[in-house]
A and B are shown apart, each in its own frame.
Chain A
Amino acid sequence: MQILVNDERHDVTACDLAALLDELGYDATARIATAVDGCFVAAGRRAAHPLHDGARVEILAPMQGG
């Protein structure tokens, strides 16, 4: 399945968001937030959030800000 992660194409086998993070190498302690197709997906709901071909996934991390 081909999906977009932070605007980059990825061919993945994962079928849900939790599996995707695992496949991309994020461990369970990573301090990140996720959104799929523009909607926030809370950490506790990632395993129950299925991915579809062409899904737009955003993975965001803490960063400097003003």
Chain B
Amino acid sequence: MTLFYGTELSSRLMLGTAQYPSPEILADAVRRAGAGVVTVSLRREAAGTRAGQAFWALIRELDVPVLPNTAGCHTVREAVTTAQMAREVFGTDWIKLEVIGESDTLQPDMFALVEAARILTEDGFRVFPYMTEDLVGAERLLRAGCEVLMPWGAPIGSGKGLNNLFGLRALRAHFPDIPMVVDAGIGVPSHAAQAMELGYDAVLINTAVAKAGDPAEMARAFAMAVEAGRMAYIADPMEERDMAVPSTPVIGQAVL
């Protein structure tokens, strides 16, 4: 059992809610994913449209826990203020903390992230920090009060999968008891399965589902991959070897 700030999720697949072709397809994808959490955000809405209210009604209807994000924030102050606003609107002290440091890769600014995490934790937030796989940064985030870590697989929306397998393995090995989620960069279900096989506790997917030709079908495929990867991790995979070892017994082989 994995607890995220004391809560066990119904699924290890976390799903983003952005970029779907329509609200109906989004709802269908969330259902078929059996998502344990959906991520949401806060934005200005065009005057008079009240689009936010309609979106919120849809999310409420899906009855899945929400994880608000601070997407697009580049400074500690922006991220902290956005988190405070999100807590009030969404009625949760969970926050996916993003503080972006570089625009081309949307790489997290680990220094600002640690500072914002400390401020928010002291203010009662339960922080899910979107981070690089940096071991020292992870240690600082834990010291700042985070009880969950969310390393990237690859840049957001790139679909490149797990860019630094060694780094992700090392992070998992260094902090075996910390719930960890691979967030960002996952492109296909096999990437998600791979993250779960490494022992990560969950994955967060958005673009790979939303931008698929059939988002709901892809959501289901991801759910199955996450489950398969988790089962494989628990089943303790074999060691990789450089040379072939025959699987069929050599004893009793005929000489022809």
Query: Which residues on A are within 8 Å of B, measured CB to CB?
Result: 6-8, 24-25, 30-35, 38-40, 42-43, 58-66
Q: Cβ of B221 < 8 Å from any Cβ of A?
A: no
Asked if A63 contacts B85 (CB within 8 A), the reply is: no
- Chain B contact residues: helix, strand, loop or mixed: mixed
Asked if B48 contacts A30 (CB within 8 A), the reply is: no
Asked if A62 contacts B44 (CB within 8 A), the reply is: no
Cα distance A62–B39 when bound, in Å?
A: 11
> Once A and B bind, how many residue pairs between them come within 8 Å at the CB atom?
99
Q: Which residue of B lies closest to A25 (CB)?
A: B48
CB proximity of A47 to chain B, nearest CB, Å: 15
Asked if A63 contacts B41 (CB within 8 A), the reply is: yes
A-B contact sample (5 more), CB < 8 A, given A42-B88, A63-B40: A31-B52, A33-B42, A61-B89, A62-B53, A66-B71
Q: Cβ of B86 < 8 Å from any Cβ of A?
A: yes
Instruction: Indicate which residue in A24, A35, A60, A66 contacts B207 across the interface (CB closer than 8 Å).
Output: A66
Query: Which residues on B are within 8 Å of A, measured CB to CB?
Result: 16-20, 26, 39-45, 47-48, 50-53, 55-56, 59, 68-69, 71, 77, 81, 84-86, 88-90, 156-157, 204, 206-207
Asked if B81 contacts A64 (CB within 8 A), the reply is: no
Asked if A31 contacts B53 (CB within 8 A), the reply is: yes
Given A33-B88, A39-B81, A40-B81, are A65 and B39 neighbors across the interface (CB < 8 Å)?
A: yes
Asked if B40 contacts A40 (CB within 8 A), the reply is: no
User: Can you name 16 A-B pairs with beta carbons within 8 Å?
Assistant: A8-B47, A25-B48, A33-B42, A35-B81, A38-B77, A43-B88, A60-B44, A60-B89, A61-B50, A62-B42, A63-B45, A63-B51, A63-B52, A63-B55, A65-B40, A66-B16
Q: Which residue of B lies closest to A60 (CB)?
A: B42
Given A59-B44, A62-B40, A62-B56, are A33 and B17 neighbors across the interface (CB < 8 Å)?
A: no
